Amino acid sequence: MFKRVISLPRLVQRYLLACVVIALVSLLPGAAQASGGLPSALFDPNSVGWASVRNLTSSDFSADFEDRKDDGYMVTDIEVVEMEGVQRVSAVWKKNTDRRGWHSHRNLSDAEFHTKWTTYREQGYRLIDQEAYVLDGDRYYAGVWVENREGLNWGSYRNATSDEFHDKYLEYKNAGYIPIDVEAYPMAGEIRYSAVWVKNAEDLDWVLLRNMTSDEYHDRFEQYKGRYRVHQVMSYRRNGVQNYAAIWIENKNGRGWKALRDMTAQSYGDNWARYNDAGYRLTEFEVYETANGWRYAGVWRQNSERPSWALRNEVDAYLEGQMQQYKIPGMSVVIAQDGEIKYMRGFGYADVNDEKIATSKTVYRLASVSKAVAGVITMRLVEKGEFTLGTKTRALVPSLPAQHTHTLRQLVSNRAGVGHYDENGSSNAQYNTALVATVFFRNNPLVCAPGTCYYYSTHGYTLLGAAMEAATGKNIGQIVRDEITTPLNLPTLRPENRSVPDPNRAAVYKSDTTAQDEVSADNISWKVLGGGLESSAYDLARFGMKLAGGTVLSNTSRTTLWTKPDNLKNYALGWDTATDYVGKGGDQLGSDSYIRIYPDEKIVVAVLTNRNKPHSAPTMGAYVGNLVFDAATKRAKAEAKPVAVETAEALELHDEVVGLTGK
């Protein structure tokens, strides 16, 4: 077996010392994949936290770098280019699960890179990624080194001519190494090449090819995709033609993967979001110039069980059918069970005109689903001793007219006799407190004596908000943020405020039509608790997961929340109740929304759209919820034994941070 530094002719050794740099080092044994190749246990785990950034300025990247490093992440792939005279930096990160030492440097001269290379080799690190690029006419290098705890022999070289690369390829291949990084770039009037190799300790089959045309790469992709997975694909101009180099590695564990190339900035961003939702993580990223401008390539690896969820195809088919039948502009759906997200997907467009796709992170109006959140806030404040459910509203807000004899329980359960839109109308004005918002309807008579009837009322929740403000000394927006948004780490579950831009916020589309007509959003600040919140499906589902998992309310409070106070209606404190589930739907201009929870099975379904009618989010939520419920019931009967439930929040992914996207 080959276990020593490769012996090379003295002339080649001198050349490599100057510009190619090669070493095979023995340090410690073991198992990795992303840009790191082997060992698989480190770099190709079944699931790991990850993040990526794209086209950040040098200063922005430096700041982001320190933040992510402090959060326990490590760089596995780095890209540096010059766009319109400005340095742009991209990187892929993964959670540093074993707290392994690592280093990443960029903007190194040839001599500086060699010094780093030598220093880290001597300290027990190995190179896993290297880049060569030009800034303002000067050649620079970047690299990523990781602590070589496994003691894997490894080697690297750079700035090699085509013939030199060919010779080194044969040498490493014959010595039992596997390539984990390859680069090609123009230098001195020709294409130069670099590569990083590591001892093939897991005996994986692999293929490395370079100088392929687009058609040649496509043919090889189709040929290898059954047995192999793309580890890296990159592109460069050679003799005026776009060429490609790629590494394929045997896909021994059979987990899913995706590889795309030649994407525009928008196409790359869309696919990043789609694969993120589908349960994949980015492992390799490339940005390169073509005759048609900047283009992007990426490789994704299955990072959860979502891609192989048993109900995925059935849920996809049903929801796609609903999208087509009702011409819904955009929709997002998240399904969770036993504390794990099983399904996340966006359909259509958050903004049709801008061709901005919908994803699980798209922010929609919640409409009356806000009332379910209001019920939770009510019980959280009860737990804190701010008031009781039996507290009279006027005891907290004595300025209300005398007819408001209702209690807080009656307000949150729609038993207060407060009118709805037919009786109290609406308002398009801006209100900064719920108390002020009550002014336009507070003097109107009640429709029945409190407690004697069930009467659905959004306005009653505005009165509830005014009572909360009086009890806490905060405005209703701050109460939502302090009770839900911040403590539960649900950043998009918040009062809608369109004066604060959010690139993920969905456009608003006209109601009651199959045409995708965008309209201006109305001001809904008067009904924060009754219909003025917004959220992504991702955060709404996580809200449900936390609630079902017992981390939001005590069991006693949650039972109260979901127990109807009488037989007037199956409506509890902001939630519709049934034998097996609780839920809440809502629709308003630009929104049809639904959340459904099966408490015993810990099943949560969130469906959000950016138009109300003629489709029905509750109908869709019920359909997919019952699919999951029925499957869980059948499984429980078959197993005939308790199923352990993990209530901890499932590991999810960081959003992509994007600077200049290029064109």
- Mean pLDDT (the chain) is 91
For position 38, what pLDDT does the model report?
77
Claim to verify: residue 403 and residue 291 sit in the same structural domain = no
- Report the pLDDT averaged over residues 361-373: 98
Two tokens at 504?
A: 């993920």
> What does the DSSP assignment read for 430-453?
--SSHHHHGGGTTTSPPSS-TTS-
In a domain, 652, yes or no: no
Claim to verify: residue 303 and residue 321 sit in the same structural domain = no
For position 514, what pLDDT does the model report?
66
Q: Residue 538: exposed, middle, or buried by beta-carbon count in 10 A (0-12, 13-18, 19+)?
A: buried
Cα of 148 vs its chain's centroid, Å: 31
Claim to verify: residue 303 and residue 359 sit in the same structural domain = no
Closest of 440, 494, 442, 477 to residue 463, by C-alpha: 442
CB 371 within 8 A of CB 461: yes
In a domain, 653, yes or no: no
Residue 225 pLDDT exceeds 60: yes
In a domain, 513, yes or no: yes
In a domain, 271, yes or no: yes
At residue 470 the predicted structure's pLDDT band, cuts being 50, 70 and 90, is very high
Claim to verify: residue 262 and residue 338 sit in the same structural domain = no
In a domain, 530, yes or no: yes
For position 636, what pLDDT does the model report?
73
Q: What is the pLDDT of residues 575-593, one digit of tens each?
A: 999 999 999 999 999 999 9
Q: What percent of the chain has pLDDT over 90?
A: 88
Q: Which residues of 285-309 are buried (b: 16+ CB within 10 A; e: fewer)?
A: bbbbbeeeebbbbbbbbbbbbbbeb
pTM: 0.88
Closest of 448, 654, 442, 625 to residue 548, by C-alpha: 625
Q: What percent of the chain has pLDDT over 70?
A: 90
Q: Which residues lie closer than 8 Å to 637 by C-beta, 6 or more apart? A: none
Compute the distance between CA of residue 308 and CA of residue 329 in angstroms, rounded to an integer.
Answer: 27
> What does the DSSP assignment read for 188-235?
TTEEEEEEEEEE-TT---EEEEEEE-HHHHHHHHHHHTTTEEEEEEEE
For position 634, what pLDDT does the model report?
84
Residue where a domain terminates, one of 307, 338, 357: 307
Claim to verify: residue 223 and residue 331 sit in the same structural domain = no
CB 19 within 8 A of CB 158: yes
Which segments of 533-661 does DSSP mark as H helices, in order?
Answer: 537-549, 555-561, 617-639
For position 511, what pLDDT does the model report?
81
In a domain, 658, yes or no: no
Reported as type and span, the H/E element at residue 75 is strand 73-83
In a domain, 196, yes or no: yes
β-sheet bridge partners, residue 592: 587, 609
β-sheet bridge partners, residue 356: 351
Claim to verify: residue 324 and residue 178 sit in the same structural domain = no
β-sheet bridge partners, residue 584: 595
Claim to verify: residue 295 and residue 329 sit in the same structural domain = no
Q: Which residues lie closer than 8 Å to 395 by C-beta, 6 or more apart? A: none
At residue 30 the predicted structure's pLDDT band, cuts being 50, 70 and 90, is very low
Closest of 540, 595, 561, 550 to residue 375, by C-alpha: 561
Domain containing 411 — which CATH number?
3.40.710.10
| Lowest-pLDDT choice from 18-27, 372-381, 528-537 | 18-27
Claim to verify: residue 389 and residue 294 sit in the same structural domain = no
Claim to verify: residue 400 and residue 506 sit in the same structural domain = yes
> What does the DSSP assignment read for 471-506?
HHSS-HHHHHIIIIITTTT-TT-EE--TTS--TTBP
For position 658, what pLDDT does the model report?
56
Residue where a domain terminates, one of 307, 342, 359: 307
Residue 39 pLDDT exceeds 60: yes
Residue where a domain terminates, one of 307, 334, 368: 307
More confident residue, 485 or 15: 485
Claim to verify: residue 539 and residue 608 sit in the same structural domain = yes
Domain containing 199: what range? Answer: 10-307
Number of domains in the chain: 2
Q: Which residues lie closer than 8 Å to 441 by C-beta, 6 or more apart? A: 419, 424, 425, 459, 462
Claim to verify: residue 329 and residue 279 sit in the same structural domain = no
Q: Which residues of 633-642 are buried (b: 16+ CB within 10 A; e: fewer)?
A: eeeeeeeeee
Q: What is the pLDDT of residues 86-107, one digit of tens each?
A: 999 999 999 999 999 999 999 9
For position 103, what pLDDT does the model report?
98
CB 374 within 8 A of CB 381: no
Two tokens at 447?
A: 């429709």
